[in-house]
Amino acid sequence: MNIKRLVDLNLKDRRVFIRSDLNVPIQDGKITSPKRILASIPTIKFALQQGASVMVTSHLGRPEEGKFSSEDSLKPVVEFLKNYLDYPVKFISNWVNKPFNVTPGQLTVLENCRFNIGEKHNDEVLAKKYASLTDIFVMDAFGTAHRKEASTYGIAQYADIACAGILFVAELEALEKALFEPSRPMIAIVGGSKVSSKLIILDTLSEKVDQLIVGGGIANTFIKAMGFDIGSSMYEEDLVPAAKKIIDKLVKRSASLPVISDVVCGKKLDANESAIKKNIKDINKDDMIFDLGEDSVNEIVKCIQKAKTIIWNGPIGVFEFAQFSKGTETMTHAIASSDAFSLAGGGDTVAAIEKFNVANDISYISTAGGAFLEFAEGKKLPAIEILEKRF
């Protein structure tokens, strides 16, 4: 990794500007999951302990630039940090056009950077303004590494020193290990509702993995591509040829897609809907597939037990409803019990990990959603590209 690291720098009495991803879910002013804040704290603490004057900013939501909205304010995040850190925490709302002082050993939180006009379009003047506030720019927002914005890219161009924070490095190392130097067999589990949103990752992974496991609505499109009737299940007709191509690619490489022989159906997606187990050959016109069946899941479990690397993005059924959660639950426990290096990413995946209480048994859980997908798709993320350029 040709990137400067925060932990290798002398930070004493330096002004350090950290771009974190503190984009946490907030309901009625309360943070419902502080995971991203907790993951960002090691970098913030490290800089404070080294005697730096530390500033941190983040986006929260997608507010309109130039317009303050209290629901997108970092205020609840500041309250969380005040309770969590043993350092003084100051909050500054208007930090672009009004001078402010920073002090060693103090954390200054700078309000949602997406309120700033020019942030999203990586405005050069704004990026230079950000850079003028600091001696060292620290990119720690891996979850936003796929965005070329003034606080994720432009500032890294113009700051005297640009480096990666502790979380950023950990994310990058985990993704590189799983995707570029995998121990084999390497398997990928790609679930979720739509092939269209995961077509590139499915295509990229089909060239790397020994087994590709598909679940959720994505599996329906693949089942259709294999020639089975899927009744009224959600699928993407126009992507059936793409699914066929992916299957062919896997077969040509002697990689495989575990056999889907049975499924769990309902007639409508409803919390009170009865679950009916069916052989894949017996799907009726009005059936909707909401989970994989026991035999199909057992095939998946066998793959997981043999794997040395597991990349997991997305559930394999509607696990939010108990009657359709068995497939995802069984698979989640199999991944947790495996000795393989397991890398999980994406909001639904993290929700499944939490629901089935296995967070401590997954090798690495990424804080990123879109950035995780884009990295796994093989794209060069702008934040990585600029840090490498500045190395």
Identify which of residues 51 and 63 has a Cβ nearer to ligand 3PG in the complex. Answer: 63
Distance (Å, whole) CA 389 – CA 391: 6
> Has 61 been annotated as catalytic?
no
Distance (Å, whole) CA 156 – CA 293: 49
Tell me which residue of 264, 279, 277 sits closest to 321, measured CA to CA.
264
Identify which of residues 15 and 114 has a Cβ nearer to ligand 3PG in the complex. Answer: 114
Identify which of residues 42 and 370 has a Cβ nearer to ligand 3PG in the complex. Answer: 370
β-sheet bridge partners, residue 263: 278, 292
Which of 51, 105, 277, 370 is the catalytic position? 370
Taking CA atoms, 125 is separated from 59, 151, 236, 252, in Å, by 19, 12, 44, 51
Distance (Å, whole) CA 322 – CA 217: 18
Distance (Å, whole) CA 356 – CA 323: 15
Least distance (Å) between residue 266 CB and ligand 3PG = 30
Identify which of residues 74 and 102 has a Cβ nearer to ligand 3PG in the complex. Answer: 74
Least distance (Å) between residue 296 CB and ligand 3PG = 30
> Has 67 been annotated as catalytic?
no
The residues, any chain, with a CB within 8 Å of residue 228's CB and separated by 6 or more, are 280, 281, 283
Which of 35, 75, 120, 194 is the catalytic position? 194
**DSSP helix/strand/coil, 225:** helix
Identify which of residues 118 and 182 has a Cβ nearer to ligand 3PG in the complex. Answer: 118
Distance (Å, whole) CA 297 – CA 262: 9
Least distance (Å) between residue 29 CB and ligand 3PG = 19
Taking CA atoms, 291 is separated from 162, 258, 383, in Å, by 46, 15, 37
Which of 36, 129, 198, 326 is the catalytic position? 36
What does the binding site for ligand 3PG look like in residue numbers (CB under 6 A)? 21, 23, 62, 143-144, 147, 369-370
> Has 347 been annotated as catalytic?
yes
Least distance (Å) between residue 151 CB and ligand 3PG = 11
Which of 347, 355, 378, 379 is the catalytic position? 347
> Has 249 been annotated as catalytic?
no
Least distance (Å) between residue 150 CB and ligand 3PG = 13
Active site residues: 36, 194, 347, 370
